[in-house]
Amino acid sequence: MSLEFEWDAKKAARNRKKHKVSFEEAQTVFEDETAYTFPDELHSTDEDREIIIGHSSRNRLLLVCFVERILDVIRIFSARRATENERADYEENAGIKSSKPAL
């Protein structure tokens, strides 16, 4: 299955400036076999938003907020590095101990 990604260019630029994470890097989290997804209940008033946490192609543990618009088309809203608490939750839920550096 091949996913397609989309995002607002202005939002992507703001995100990169604020969080130092590009949406191009964020989309690589979807390739991480140990990534997991859960509902973003706080921001799901108009649509069913989700969060995925996993390692990017740069070996950074990222938290990515997104919605699946239509089948296999993912719209990214936000991406940032995971906090230490999020990293601990990820490792516990994924059943792994991360050997990848927290950059």
Q: Which residue from 33, 36, 27 is spatially nearest to 72, judged by alpha carbons? A: 27
* Helices then strands, each counted (H, E), the chain: 3, 5
What are 55's strand-pairing partners? 61
Q: Is 24 left (phi over 0), alpha (psi -120 to 50) or beta?
A: alpha
**Tens of pLDDT, residues 12-22:** 999 999 999 99
Question: CATH for 4-94?
Answer: 3.10.450.530
Domain boundaries, the chain: 4-94
Would you give per-residue pLDDT tens digits along the chain (103 residues)? 589 999 999 999 999 999 999 999 999 999 999 999 999 877 667 788 999 999 999 999 999 999 998 888 999 999 999 999 999 999 888 765 544 444 3
